[in-house]
Structure 1
Amino acid sequence: MTLLAFGINHNTASLDIRERVAFAPEQMEEALSELCRQGAADEVAILSTCNRTEIYAYSQQSATLIVEWLAGYHRLPLDELQGCHYCHQGEEAIRHMMAVACGLDSLVLGEPQILGQMKSAYAVANGAGTAGTHLHSAFQQVFSIAKRVRTETAIGENPVSVAYAAVSLAQQIFSNLKEDTALLIGAGETIELVARHLHEQGVKKLLVANRTLGRARDLAEQFNAEAILLADIPEFLHRADIVISSTASQLPLLGKGAVESALKKRKHKPMFMVDIAVPRDIEAEVGELDDVYLYTVDDLREVIDENRRSREEAAAKADEIVGEGVQAYARELRALSSVSTIKAYRRKAEDIRDQELERALKTLEKGADPEAVLMQLARGLTNKLLHAPTSKIKQAGASGRDDMIGLTQELFDLDDRDTNP
């Protein structure tokens, strides 16, 4: 079996494609089970974020089956995926997973959220029963290297994320956030980061809208904000100078009509909107309105690129650590490949032991001298355990296989004094 890391991300696929292959949380266990049932993978985990959908699998099959399954699952023409996906195998797959977990492959270099998202993907796969021994080993190596990168480099200093980039862009458009009201749609980790950044910048008023009022209140209490339901957004939208949305909704939450109504109440005072969600929460047509500045995650690249430059030195060190992690993983795999041989040899030795012991016990029952029985037991064990190896060594010597002779000396820890007559 081979480790595969298959996927699409912000570098290879448009937002339109990414949102069409994104997995909602409630779809995840079903998708994992289906992948295994159809024989595309023996072990599998799926990572699905606003910037990437990746499938990590141990499989004896070609990655072509995964591409076909993904296209079929999301009812997407196969040719639309063919030109924008990537697939890494073996050591390159583990290298890619480590780079992703460390934030080296993120839109925002070094962003910390992705590690938590990978841990969640692994936990879901465990819960679904699709993460076995091989994936467990791979993910533990990945998490270990990500921890080293965070502690041994400065890549996580001055945290930068999509949330931070969104707030930075808002500051460029509104010179003084202390006079503005922000409506945050959703109550997940990204929106919590947005709320924290806005709060630190002294935004005048925060509104938090969520599907459940309880979660919205939990978040609102942290930042002295007001909690509302998603259904109440039309009533409050006109009060918002800034709207930042990040939910797991499969359908848009804000349409052109609702925003037009809000603009009329605002007497066409401009609104700044950032849609971080994939699939999008805000209809693309909203961006056509004269008094709306609508940005998606892809539009944040310029802001993010400035922050990327400050982290490149730390990323170089992180690359070295990832390289060490790949080597450690390769060593572990090589060690695992010997386990079956070790087990087989142990079983064979134990069978010989049991046979000789049974013979010795029967001889003792007949009244034979115990010392003689023990001597025969020792000789029998020695002869049978050494028979196969000595036969092979003789054949190697006769064939001029000095390499095998050398390996045998190393295997049995024999030095020159042992081998010289």
Structure 2
Amino acid sequence: MLLVLGINHTTAEIAVREQVAFGSAQLGVALDELRSLPSVLEASILSTCNRTELYCVLHGGSEQTVLDWLAGFHRLPIEALRECTYHYREGEAARHMMRVACGLDSMVLGEPQILGQLKEAYHRAREQQSLGSDLERLFQHTFAVAKQVRSETGIGENPVSVAYAAVNLAGRIFDDIRRSRALLIGAGETIELVARHLKKAGIQGIIVANRTRERAQALADEVDGVAIGLDELQSALVCADVVISSTGSPMPMLGKGMVETALKARKHRPVFMVDIAVPRDIEPQVGELDDIFLYTIDDLNEVISENRRSRESAAAQAEEIIVSNVSAWQHERRIRGAGDLIRRHRQQAEGVREEAEAQALAQLAQGQDPETVIRRLSQQLTNRLLHGTTLRLREASGAQRQDLVAAAEELLLDAPTPALESERTPS
């Protein structure tokens, strides 16, 4: 059974989401643990600022098995998670995964970053060898659907993202953002987008702080900014009017004490802060300080909702494409299932043939009459190959399972019997 179990921005606030987020360092262990559960055959984990989702193929288990593991891994009470998680099975699970890849389930409708995050989750699962044929094919199908939606609809038009919303909100707070300076903490994809939007808005200066100085420098060079290490945050805060943070740190980067010290040095000039990270980079207590305007990713909803209308028509087209592709995926999956059955049936028949052939060859080696051996061989093959099917047909008839009897008639009697090699006319 294909299962998706998750928690996202529509079902839980950031205080809950950050508790179930998986850091990069945790993913390997988490995938190994999840895959080692007796009922989990395949697994992948997607963890972003707005969602944590587990994609699994189960045999004999249920969503409760996966939910129990998620709660146990993060040491959370199961009741706290049960209220804010969702799950989908089979076709609905595939549909949800495709909607996520196309940005239809995102806070920002149609945002493209989620596709890259989903691809990263796929590659990480492959590295941990937690994928099998079912999830492998579903991921590939999903990526193809996302590409089709991007090329055939206008879902990606009018750039809208969490990064755009953060900069847009900053522009509303300041009379003229061109006279402000920004401190960006982190150097990942989201911060890169923030930096580009700020530069386009004409902000006076940009400081990029990151654990890896080289990566900060590369981004700073792109936007004519300055790169610093995280150990220089205290001094950088003093000259920052805008602070936007998005790192993968499990602990806050900015505490109340550090910000208080910076405010004194700034003579209490106001600072606009946006914490896009999950878990949060800025302690919530910072928002209690005078002259600090602190927003989290959840606060960006109002800005983002204004930009949804331009993409809603394209989203409807995308939904139609997804419905069609879910049907195609299910059809392909059913064909693969029949292929597995056919292989097992052929292997079983081949085993019977090899045993009968060995007996016949041994009889010929003993000098028995070849014609008698061949007749006996053909009778044995007929009896052995038909014994199991005949027995089950009688049982089905006795149990009044006319559906099985009718299916057997269609499968066993309507198919043409191939000619023997000696009877085929050379071409």
Give the equivalent residue in structure 1 for 2:62.
62
Give the equivalent residue in structure 2 for 1:405.
409
SS of the residue aligned with 1:311? helix
Q: Give, in angstroms, the shift of residue 380 of structure 1.
A: 7.6
Q: How many residues in Structure 1 have an aligned counterpart in Structure 2?
A: 412
Give the equivalent residue in structure 2 for 1:144.
144
Q: Distance in 2 between matches of 1:152 and 1:339?
A: 33
Report if aligned partners of 1:352, 1:384 keep a CA contact under 8 Å in 2.
no
Q: Give, in angstroms, the shift of residue 24 of structure 1.
A: 0.7
TM-score (norm 2): 0.87
> Which piece of structure 1 moves more, 247-256 or 133-142?
133-142
Report if aligned partners of 2:180, 2:205 keep a CA contact under 8 Å in 1.
yes
Q: How does 1:215-230 map to 2 (within 5 A)?
A: 215-230=215-230
Tell me: CA distance 1:410–1:160, structure 2 relative to 1, closer, same or farther (3 Å). farther
Q: Distance in 1 between matches of 2:17 and 2:333?
A: 33
Q: How does 1:8-27 map to 2 (within 5 A)?
A: 8-27=7-26
Report if aligned partners of 1:353, 1:381 keep a CA contact under 8 Å in 2.
no
CA deviation vs aligned residue, 1:16-69 (integer Å, no higher than 9, x gap): 000111111001111111123343622111111111111111112121122222
Give the equivalent residue in structure 2 for 1:127.
127
Give the equivalent residue in structure 1 for 2:253.
253
Give the equivalent residue in structure 2 for 1:417.
none
Q: Distance in 2 between matches of 1:248 and 1:121?
A: 15
Report if aligned partners of 1:352, 1:381 keep a CA contact under 8 Å in 2.
no
Give the equivalent residue in structure 2 for 1:242.
242
Q: Give, in angstroms, the shift of residue 115 of structure 1.
A: 0.8
Q: Give, in angstroms, the shift of residue 131 of structure 1.
A: 1.3
Give the equivalent residue in structure 2 for 1:45.
44
Partner AA of 2:103 in structure 1: G
Give the equivalent residue in structure 1 for 2:296.
296
Unaligned runs of 5+ in 1: 415-421
Q: Give, in angstroms, the shift of residue 203 of structure 1.
A: 1.5
Tell me: CA distance 1:175–1:49, structure 2 relative to 1, closer, same or farther (3 Å). same
* Alignment RMSD: 3.0
Q: Distance in 2 between matches of 1:257 and 1:192?
A: 28
SS of the residue aligned with 1:310? helix
SS of the residue aligned with 1:42? strand
SS of the residue aligned with 2:306? helix
Q: Distance in 2 between matches of 1:408 and 1:116?
A: 48
Give the equivalent residue in structure 2 for 1:419.
none
SS of the residue aligned with 1:307? coil
Are positions 1:154 and 2:154 aligned together? Answer: yes
> Which piece of structure 1 moves more, 28-37 or 353-362?
353-362
Report if aligned partners of 2:352, 2:385 keep a CA contact under 8 Å in 1.
no
Q: Give, in angstroms, the shift of residue 196 of structure 1.
A: 1.2
CA deviation vs aligned residue, 1:345-401 (integer Å, no higher than 9, x gap): 32244345546766787798899999x99x989978996798569969997999995
Are positions 1:322 and 2:322 aligned together? Answer: yes
Q: Distance in 2 between matches of 1:69 and 1:125?
A: 17
Q: How does 1:55-94 map to 2 (within 5 A)?
A: 55-59=54-58, 60-94=60-94
Give the equivalent residue in structure 2 for 1:185.
185
Q: Distance in 1 between matches of 2:350 and 2:156?
A: 53
Q: Distance in 2 between matches of 1:397 and 1:75?
A: 53
Q: Distance in 1 between matches of 2:289 and 2:120?
A: 38
CA deviation vs aligned residue, 1:79-120 (integer Å, no higher than 9, x gap): 211211111111111111111111110000111111111111
Q: Distance in 2 between matches of 1:12 and 1:397?
A: 51
Q: Distance in 1 between matches of 2:146 and 2:230?
A: 36
Give the equivalent residue in structure 2 for 1:418.
none
> Which piece of structure 1 moves more, 339-348 or 352-361?
352-361
Are positions 1:264 and 2:268 aligned together? Answer: no
Report if aligned partners of 1:186, 1:211 keep a CA contact under 8 Å in 2.
yes
Q: Give, in angstroms, the shift of residue 405 of structure 1.
A: 3.3
Partner AA of 1:149 in structure 2: V
Give the equivalent residue in structure 2 for 1:7.
6
Q: Distance in 2 between matches of 1:352 and 1:80?
A: 56
Give the equivalent residue in structure 2 for 1:168.
168
TM-score (norm 1): 0.88
Q: Distance in 2 between matches of 1:356 and 1:41?
A: 40
Q: Give, in angstroms, the shift of residue 212 of structure 1.
A: 1.5
Partner AA of 1:144 in structure 2: A
Q: Distance in 2 between matches of 1:147 and 1:288?
A: 44
> Which piece of structure 1 moves more, 38-47 or 277-286?
38-47
Report if aligned partners of 1:36, 1:42 keep a CA contact under 8 Å in 2.
yes
Q: Distance in 2 between matches of 1:348 and 1:68?
A: 39
SS of the residue aligned with 2:269? coil
Report if aligned partners of 2:353, 2:381 keep a CA contact under 8 Å in 1.
no
Give the equivalent residue in structure 2 for 1:31.
30
SS of the residue aligned with 1:130? coil
Q: Distance in 1 between matches of 2:414 and 2:147?
A: 37
Q: Distance in 2 between matches of 1:256 and 1:127?
A: 40
Q: Distance in 2 between matches of 1:394 and 1:73?
A: 49
